[in-house]
Amino acid sequence: MLAATDFQIPFKKYTLKNGMRVILAQDNSVPVVTVYVIYGVGARSEQKGRTGFAHLFEHMMFQGSANAPKGQHFKLVESNGGNLNGSTHPDFTDYFDILPSNKLALGLWLESDRMRALNITEENLQNQKEAVKQERRLSFDNQPYATAVVDVWPQIAFQNWQNSHSLIGSFEDLEAATVDDVARFFKTYYAPNNAVLVVSGDFQEREARRLIDAYFGDIPSQPQPKHPDLSEPPDVKPRMEVYKDPLAQVPAVIIGFPGPPRRSPDYYALTILDVLLTGGDSSRFQQNLVKGKQSVIQYEANLGWPFAAFTDYKDPGHYAMFLLYNPAFKGSQVVQHAQEELEKIQKEGVDAKELNRVKTYFRASMIAQLQSSLARARRLGQYELLDGDPGYINREMESFLAVTAEQIQAVARKYLTPERRFILDIVPAPKTEKPKK
């Protein structure tokens, strides 16, 4: 039996008087430190008529603050040999600064200054509206499969609008956003009591605590924001649609199944089942669909796909897969080939040798992913925000390694059936055609 006891990342957690949760994960082996801030707001918190607002606000967070004018955040971090970025997810928005360890104070000051006093102006808002539009044109509207994945798939997979609308949003909704909207969004969601700060890497605890208290301690808290109801109707009906993509050279199919609650026994079992299907060169999809039937060219799958992995999956969500397939086959054939792989598990189960290989691969991958201070900071912050317990970073491996063959067979039978299946077949269309369902 594989051991999980040597998989330990030390950390300490405490809360400031204003409600901001702080996690310190000290590792002095490399002179690098990460400052990571995660806020409890994402695309699923948006209101109708304001789609894309969480993503727009991510851009606004780089437009300067009271003591760090526009452009200074990037300049100060990069001129000190660091790097930084932010990202928008369905359930959170996060930001990081990676710096030499002697510049910890700089990273904390920059993040606290924009949490305290973001520079919200009409000029900045208009600039970022255009930036988001341009990003959408370049990264989504002019890329194959992107519109199908970001805009069309959620509408097939979900019935609740909070879950089904586009994470990127529409041009019309972006144009309708006002400075007052932005200011209200900032005050509501970007408060310290709706955030988690993680400092990971090379630092001294006493000094880190002093700096955090000095920079963040007096930022006023706000009423805890109300989060929308994300629940989906209990009755699941299979759906299948075709999307004609003029940018696609090769067809693809998305197959998804509504997933289990986060942290449930089924969550752990379905994650290991996914590794069995798609993890590495020995996986069943690689051996049977890519090399065997040669119907699939490339694939990716996750509990939480396309916007999350199992680590930041939050129900309602799906176990979904994206299969780029050989044009000599039809989408329906590829769906059948994938379903046959699931049926093998449902009927025959998994033998001990294969399960041990899968767990070994999973454990090695997880350990490798957590080598950097940024990866540790992200995982700790997300576990605190989503679960209220960053200790999962050390305990969850045991839960994954304890999954049995019987549990894998049971979740395959329970979740991965045609009666619960959503399909989006993405087929190349003539260049003259506009994308359509």
What are 40-95's pLDDT values in tens digits?
999 999 999 888 889 988 999 999 999 999 999 999 999 999 999 999 999 999 99
The predicted structure's pLDDT at residue 2 = 53
Last residue of a domain, one of 159, 185, 216: 216
- Three-state SS for 130-198 is HHHHHHHHHHHHCCCCHHHHHHHHHHHHCCCHHHHCCCCCCHHHHHHCCHHHHHHHHHHHCCHHHEEEE
Instruction: Report the pLDDT value the prediction gives residue 11, as an integer from 0 to 100.
Output: 98
Using an 8 Å Cβ cutoff, are 295 and 302 in contact? no
Predicted confidence band of residue 434 (pLDDT cuts 50, 70, 90): low
Instruction: Decide: 88 and 59 in contact? Cβ < 8 Å.
Output: no
Give the pLDDT score at 431: 67
155 in a structural domain? yes
Report d(CA 244, CA 222) in Å as an integer: 46
How many independent structural domains does the chain possess? 2
DSSP 292: I
Residue 53 sits in the same domain as residue 197: yes
Looking at the domain assignment, is residue 6 inside a domain?
Answer: no
Predicted confidence band of residue 378 (pLDDT cuts 50, 70, 90):
very high
Q: State whether 203 and 307 are in the same domain.
A: no
**In this predicted model, what pLDDT tens digit does every residue of 177-226 receive, in sequence order?**
899 988 999 999 999 999 999 999 999 999 999 999 999 999 999 999 98
**pLDDT exceeds cutoff 60 at 123:** yes
| 71 within a domain of the structure (yes/no) | yes
User: Do 182 and 325 belong together in one domain?
Assistant: no
- Stretch 131-159: mean pLDDT, rounded? 89
pLDDT at position 414 is 98
Does 320 share its domain with 202? no
Residue 332 located in a structural domain: yes
Run of H or E residues at 68:
none
Confidence of residue 330 (pLDDT cuts 50, 70, 90): very high
DSSP-based three-state secondary structure for 24: strand
Q: What pLDDT shows up at residue 435?
A: 55
Residue 420 — pLDDT band, cuts 50, 70, 90?
Answer: very high
Residue type, 326: N
pLDDT band at 405; cut points 50, 70, 90: very high
Residue type, position 97, single letter: D
In a domain, 22, yes or no: yes
- On whether both 189 and 266 belong to a single domain, the answer is no
| Digit-coded pLDDT (tens) for 308-328 | 999 999 999 999 999 999 999
pLDDT at res. 397: 95
Question: Is 223 inside any structural domain?
Answer: no
pLDDT for the residue numbered 101: 97
Range of the domain at 392: 239-428
Q: List the structure tokens of 185.
A: 């969004």
Q: What angle (nearest 5°) sits at the alpha carbon of residue 235, between those of residues 234 and 241? A: 120
What number is the average pLDDT over the span 247-257?
97
Mean pLDDT of the chain: 94
In angstroms and rounded to an integer, the radius of gyration of the C-alpha atoms of the chain is 23
**Strand 32-39 with 93-100, pairing:** antiparallel
Q: Are residues 193 and 268 in the same domain?
A: no
Quick one: pLDDT at residue 129?
Answer: 85
H/E run at residue 337: helix 331-348
The C-alpha atoms of residue 43 and residue 307 are separated, in whole angstroms, by 11
Confidence of residue 5 (pLDDT cuts 50, 70, 90): low
Question: In the predicted model, is pLDDT for residue 408 greater than 90?
Answer: yes
Is residue 160 domain-shared with residue 251, that is, in the same domain? no
Judging by DSSP bridges, how do beta strands 318-325 and 32-39 pair with one another?
unpaired
Decide if 230 is inside a domain: no
Per-residue pLDDT of 147-172, as tens digits, reads 999 999 999 999 999 999 988 888 88
Distance (Å, rounded) from C-alpha 284 to C-alpha 19?
A: 47
Q: What would the mean pLDDT of 171-178 be, rounded to a whole number?
A: 87
pLDDT at 132: 83
Domain annotation covers residue 221: no
Residues 168 and 249 in one domain: no
Burial class (CB in 10 A: 0-12, 13-18, 19+), 200: buried
150 and 299 in a single domain? The answer is: no
What pLDDT is stored for residue 390 in this prediction? 98
pLDDT at residue 6 in the model: 65
The pLDDT, as a whole number, for residue 138 is: 78
Spatial distance between the Cα atoms of 398 and 272, rounded to a whole number of angstroms: 12
Task: Tell me: do 275 and 134 sit in the same domain.
Answer: no
CB 312 within 8 A of CB 304: yes
Question: What is the per-residue pLDDT for 12?
Answer: 98
Q: Do 196 and 65 share a structural domain?
A: yes
CA 404/CA 428 separation, integer angstroms: 41
> 72: closest CA among 98, 38, 104, 106?
106
Confidence check: pLDDT of 3 > 60: no
Q: Within this chain, do residues 190 and 300 fall inside the same structural domain, yes or no?
A: no
* CATH number of the domain encompassing residue 292: 3.30.830.10
DSSP 8-state class, residue 40: S
Tokens 């109300």, residue? Answer: 226
